[in-house]
Amino acid sequence: MLTLDLTGKRALVAGVADDGGFGFAIAKALIEAGATVCVATWPPALNIFLNLLERGKMDESRKLKDGTLLNFEKIYPLDAVFDTLEDAPQELRESKRYKDVGDFSIAGLAARVQADFGAQPLDILVHSLANGPEVKKPLMETSRAGYLAAVSASAYSLVSMVRHFGPLMRRGGSVASLTYMASERAIPGYGGGMSSAKAALESDTRVLAFEAGRKYGIRINTVSAGPYASRAASAIGIIDNMVKYCQTNTPLPEVLEAVEVGHATAFLCSPLASGITGATVYVDKGYHSMGMAVDGATVPTFGA
């Protein structure tokens, strides 16, 4: 029987702050496949995340197929806007939510992982990070600062993470990120430069796949997931409408589940996908393949 086996592999999933998003679903899928998983969490959400875990508030979602509860090998702080701790403003470093977490930069996280596990401890790196402070604004009303912030947090962070973690990954390892259809089609209401950030992320995936493939022997892919009403996605403001629209207009008229993105990402990070790199893989119930909306009048109904 062909199985997805990640036994003996170690993964780092960056961007897990609760049990309701793609990051958690990916981490859980990797653990189900046998990997050990560390996660990195945005410092302002870190204490809340730890408290929810300690108080058992996530126990239901932590249940694995064998009835046990998943556990993360390590939980680290990460603000992926900063390559080094020195890049962060002093007032931020001294603020209540940051001052006691240590080095929360990308370089700091890489140093912590290496200190905890040795020279080349990673097989899998997952970038589940995105932020656009002006995402509710139309692109034409987005400030330069807001636009650049979206690209920095959502796209350049992948470049920086591959630069810092590539040397820590074993040959044959895999990097995966999450993108969205707005990278290639206009999605009214998904603004603030986030569409540009996702386009950059996909372009960078192809270039990084070549550069890091030649230098470190690792694969890099991105998963274009359909809209999903996670807590983080609520910041968009129209996420419920996006979900309903896609449910109506996809070849499979169903709501996308986070576990489906988790399973697809786990596959991409496994030896079963050893020939796949530089790819954008769609996990959106087929929405990307549609060229016309389904309105019930012009589209025939097909059935058994």
Which amino acids are annotated as binding site for NAD(+), given as ranges?
A: 15, 129, 198
Q: Which of 16, 112, 108, 7 is nearest to 58 (CA)?
A: 16
Burial of 184 (0-12, 13-18, 19+ CB in 10 A): middle
Q: Is 216 a catalytic residue?
A: no
Q: Which of 265, 296, 261 is nearest to 279 (CA)?
A: 265
The residue annotated as part of the active site, out of 190, 216, 228, 287, is 190
The residue annotated as part of the active site, out of 98, 180, 216, 287, is 180
Q: 229-233 contacts: CB < 8 A, separation 24 or more?
A: 230/20, 230/21, 230/22, 230/258, 231/18, 231/20, 231/21, 232/17, 232/21, 232/130, 233/21
Q: What is the DSSP string of 205-260?
A: HHHHHHHHHHHH--EEEEEEEPP---TGGGGGS-HHHHHHHHHHHSSS-S---HHH
The binding site comprises: 15, 129, 198
Q: Is 228 a catalytic residue?
A: no
Active site residues: 180, 190
